Amino acid sequence: MADSLLSYISLAMILFSIGLLGVISRKNIFIVYMSIELMLNAVNLIFISLGRYYESMEPQVISILIIAVAAAEAAVFLSLIVVLYRRKRSLDSDIFNILSQKSAS
């Protein structure tokens, strides 16, 4: 089982689906963010298993770049959440609609 590419891809697709379900079904903004992280991890798993399949190092380098992007995303996202939570006292993802208005109240 651990010898076939398909089992790794299946695991990655299951995790990606779980992340997608989290994004579309939850309103808690932290859980939406964590689901995005889970999807990034699933994509990393696909990259690394394909890298092992073709015995190439490039997918591992791409994975490290993805992890760096995830770290940058974490910093910006969490500071944005802290500011919005201080103003609105809510973790509902609807609080982000103030970002769409010209005069944010």
Partner 1 sequence: MIDIIFLILSLIAIAGGFGMIIFAQPIYSALSLIVCIIALGGIFALLSAPFLFMVQIIIYAGAIITLLLFIIMFLNIKDDNLPEEPNKISTIVIGGVLLIPFNYLILKSFAAMEDKPMHILSNGFGSIKIFGTELFENWLVPFEMISLLLLAALVGAVVYARKENKSEEK
Q: Write the single-letter amino acid at 75.
A: A
For partner 1, the closer CB: 24 or 100: 24
Q: Is 12 exposed, middle or buried (0-12, 13-18, 19+ CB in 10 A)?
A: buried
Residues 72-101 that bind partner 1 (CB under 8 A): 72-76, 78-83, 85, 87, 89-94
Q: How far is the CB of 40 from partner 1 (least distance, A)?
A: 9
Residues 12-71 that bind partner 1 (CB under 8 A): 13-15, 17-22, 24-28, 30-31, 33-35, 37-38, 41, 44-45, 48-49, 51-53, 55, 57-58, 60-61, 63-65, 67-71
Q: How far is the CB of 86 from partner 1 (least distance, A)?
A: 9
> Position of tokens 């760096």?
68
DSSP calls for 46-99 = HHHHHHHHHT-SHHHHHHHHHHHHHHHHHHHHHHHHHHHHHHH---BGGGGGGG
For partner 1, the closer CB: 71 or 101: 71
